[in-house]
Structure 1
Amino acid sequence: MEERFVGITMGDPAGIGPEISLKAIDKKNEYKQSVLIYGSYGVLKYYHDLLSLQTPLVRIDRVQEFQKGKINVISVVDLEIGKDIILGQVSSVAGDAAYQYIARAIADAMKGDISVVTTAPLNKEALHEGGHHFDGHTEIFATLTHTQTYTMMLWSDRMSVVHVSTHCALREACNRATKKRVLECIHLADDVMRRLEKKIPKIAVAGLNPHSGEAGLFGQEEIEEIAPAVEQAIAEGLQVTGPVPPDTVFLKAYKGVYDIVVAMYHDQGHIPMKMIAFDSGVNVTLGLPIIRTSVDHGTAFDIAGKGIANEESMLYAVDLGKRFAES
């Protein structure tokens, strides 16, 4: 069987991404057979020494040079801590480097050299200072893979959520809750759950307004946009319910009434997911021609370089990516 490689992009080099990337590979022997890091060798060497890891760290130029039993690094941008970047500080150098790791990994995935890209966190301010004006990972992946229809999913073993909108102002999020976009997200949710769970998923579509608008008393979006999308999805044969009041829909999903929730905006979906699965949640970009998973947390500049970052979310992200690759 053809080897399926997972490429971890180590995120902002001034954050905890390098640390959790190394810890993840060092923790699981199976990762040492097929998981590599796109990043900066000098930064990773610093953490390798700090953590006193026994697994050898090796620099390779391309995936085909992968050495099993070791932590393999494609050093996309050579950086040194204290010289090029300072741990825990926003910088254009770190922001640009984080982008370059992603761009190289995507290029390798599009060629088929790796089967999954798993991303460590980047810092949006640094990304912008580095000259890359994206809202986040999701938009970078969509742009570099020329993908038009996509969404962010947060997955956990207890509940999953896809988002109609993510990184935009709340006022703009209301405008983006259109019938077309809601229906796109319903289809993406249905596709991914069929792929992962091998069954017809029960999908809940959250309302936008309190009490899902209370029959128009608190807003017209449910009547004019969200409910028509749900009705069309049902007519197409999908198992969809909604709009469900957002103050109860996530509790119902948590209890197993629904398999996945279509949330209307970033915080509506992120807050409940981070409450129940902060260390085990995985961020997935749906709709791409390649597989992309990610940790569900930020760069944690406040603990960068202290050797105390938790790699659990990275482990879940890699494992889910491998599951996608095998499905």
Structure 2
Amino acid sequence: MNDPVLALTLGDPVGIGPEITARTLAEVAGEDGHHGVAVGDAEALRRGARAAGLDVTVREVSDFATPPAGPGVIDVLDTGVLGADVPAWGTVDARAGRAAVAAIETATRAALDGAVAGVVTGPINKEAIWQAGSKHLGHTEMLGELTGVTRQDTMFVVRNTEVPGHHLRIFFTTRHVSLRVALDQITRERVGRSIREAATALRIFGTPEPRLAVAALNPHGGENGAFGDEEIEHIGPACDDARAEGLDVSGPVPADSVFHQGLTGRFDGVLSHFHDQGHIPAKTYDFNGTISVTVGLPILRTSVDHGTAFDIAGSGKADHGTMLSAYRAAVEYSPSVPTIRTTYGGNA
């Protein structure tokens, strides 16, 4: 898309979302080729801008087609949930949860309608959205329902400064479940499906001939069954199946080395099997630069990979690096939107 317009949801209005959104929009204001519009309560964004010490004007717009005003002006599409009554910083509050959900719903509808090229989401507090009545485990599941799809996955993008132009993508066989449940979900069928979905996502997001590594689950890859048999019974056969289909797949590769190999350029992507297996290396390597992309949706959605940081909300200490990276990634990926719609639009 030429000159993409992006919707940036504030996330929980009493977390660091308003501050990092304000900082991001202030930094990119006046740049050519794209336009970011915050979605959420205008007063929450203003309060975030004040907390950040920004000298900017927060302009309320009625639609996403309003042309940008240039440096020093950041735009917001006010959802009007809270009005002037924004709850105290850093508190779990059902009102804040409702505001966060409303922003996500508004931005998602705009993306489905083509009013924006994509959605960049700020962090939400799960307890707050649950208190507000949401039944979803988080953003990903909520976006799945809003867009009418049944399969959606997370792709982390880790930008490696040591290998110019190389971005490692990390995928997940399981997501928001306990480790015990995740272990039970590691099957040949599920791993195989995740391999194929990861390969598809890598192609969509700029790697025509992707090299994918599949992490092992057990120490040292299981040592031929001495430390567990998941590699023998499920992960290894799934890799064999994928190779038989013509995919460039390596694995299972011991998890204590596979991410290093990916970062140094041997692989374009790594399939991890449970939440922390993929999150820990990404956030340790580059906490403020790693971003999340939801694949499987018929819309482009990028996101920060951190939480609401209630402990520093309102203090002016929040680092907006991940939000800025998520925004710039959405700009970079916006030409893929037609392919995203075509590929995932039938995922219902």
Aligned to 2:179: 170
Deviation at 1:111, TM superposition (A): 0.5
Residue aligning to 1:45: 46
Q: 1:74 aligns with which of 68, 77, 81?
A: 77
How many pairs were matched up? 326
Look up the match of 1:280.
Answer: 289
Indicate if the aligned counterparts of 1:282 and 1:294 stay in contact, CA closer than 8 A.
yes
Q: Structure 1 residues 178-187 or 275-284, which shifts more?
A: 178-187
Offset, 1:44: 1.2
- Normalised by the size of structure 1, how large is the TM-score? 0.94
Structure 2 vs 1, CA of residues 110 and 137 (structure 1 numbering), >3 Å: closer, same or farther? same
Structure 1 match to 2:170: 161
Whether the 8 Å contact between 1:41 and 1:79 is mirrored in structure 2 is no
- Aligned partner of 1:23: which letter? R
1:30 corresponds to:
31
SS in 1 for 2:11: coil
Aligned-residue offset at 1:199 = 3.4
Spell out the pairing of 1:227-242 with structure 2 (5 A cutoff): 227-242=236-251
Comparing 21-30 and 206-215, the one that deviates more: 206-215
Counting only pairs closer than 5 Å after superposition, residues 287-326 of structure 1 correspond to structure 2 as 287-326=296-335
Over 3 Å counting, the alpha-carbon distance change for 1:126 and 1:32 in structure 2 is farther
Report the Cα distance in structure 1 between the residues aligned to 2:312 and 2:325, rounded to whole angstroms. Answer: 21
Distance 1:182 1:53 in 2: 47
Stretches of structure 2 that go unaligned for 5 or more consecutive residues are 161-167, 337-348
> After alignment, is 242-251 or 161-170 more displaced?
242-251
CA contact (8 A) 1:11 1:120 kept: yes
The aligned counterpart of 2:91 is 89
In the alignment, the residues of structure 1 paired with residue 325 and residue 93 of structure 2 have an alpha-carbon distance, to the nearest angstrom, of 29
Shift of 1:71: 1.3
Instruction: Return the alpha-carbon distance in structure 2 between the equivalents of residues 99 and 31 of structure 1.
Output: 30
CA distance in 1, matches of 2:139, 2:155: 13
After TM superposition, give the deviation of residue 42 of structure 1 in Å: 1.0
Q: Corresponding residue for 2:230?
A: 221
Match of 1:4 in 2: 4
SS of the equivalent of 1:148 reads coil
CA displacement at 1:32 relative to structure 2? 9.5
Match of 2:60 in 1: 59
Tell me what 2:280 maps to. Answer: 271
| Cα deviation, residue 3, structure 1 | 4.2
Deviations 1:222-241 (A, max 9, x none): 22221121111111111101
Query: What is the percent sequence identity of the aligned residues?
Result: 38
Aligned partners of 2:171 and 2:271 also within 8 Å: yes
Moved over 4 A (4+): none
Taking a change above 3 Å as real, the CA distance of residues 2 and 253 of structure 1, as seen in their structure-2 partners, is closer
Residue 66 of structure 1 and its aligned partner are, at CA, apart by 4.5
1:138-187: CA deviation from partner (whole Å, max 9, x where unpaired): 11111211222221111112232101111111011012222222222222
Counterpart Cα distance in 1 of 2:215 and 2:232? 13
2:110 to 108, 111, 123: 108
**Cα distance in 1 between the residues matched to 2:43 and 2:33:** 20
Conserved 8 A contact 1:37-1:74: yes
The secondary structure found in structure 1 opposite 2:159 is coil
Rounded to whole Å, the distance in 2 between the matches of 1:173 and 1:32 is 42
- Equivalent residues of 1:153, 1:284 under 8 A apart: yes
The question of whether the paired residues in 1 share the 8 Å contact of 2:18 and 2:44 is answered with: yes
Give the aligned partner of residue 15 of structure 1: 15
**Take 1:139 and 1:23, find their aligned partners in 2: how far apart are those partners?**
28
2:212/2:268 contact within 8 Å kept = yes
Give the partner amino acid of 2:216. G
Deviation for aligned residue 1:80: 5.5
Match of 1:305, as an amino acid? G
Q: Structure 1, residues 53-85: CA drift from partner, whole Å, max 9, x if none?
A: 34321112221334432311111134257x441
Q: Give 5+ residue unaligned stretches, structure 1.
A: none
**1:12-64 deviation line (CA, Å, top 9, x unaligned):** 00100000001101012328951101110111122334445343211122213
Matched AA of 1:88 = G
| Number of the residue aligned with 1:134 | 136
One-letter code aligned to 1:263: S
1:135 & 1:306 partners in 2: Cα distance?
A: 28
**What is the rounded CA distance, in whole Å, between the counterparts of 1:61 and 1:115 in structure 2?**
17
Contact 2:188 2:237 in 1 (8 A): yes
* RMSD between aligned residues: 1.8
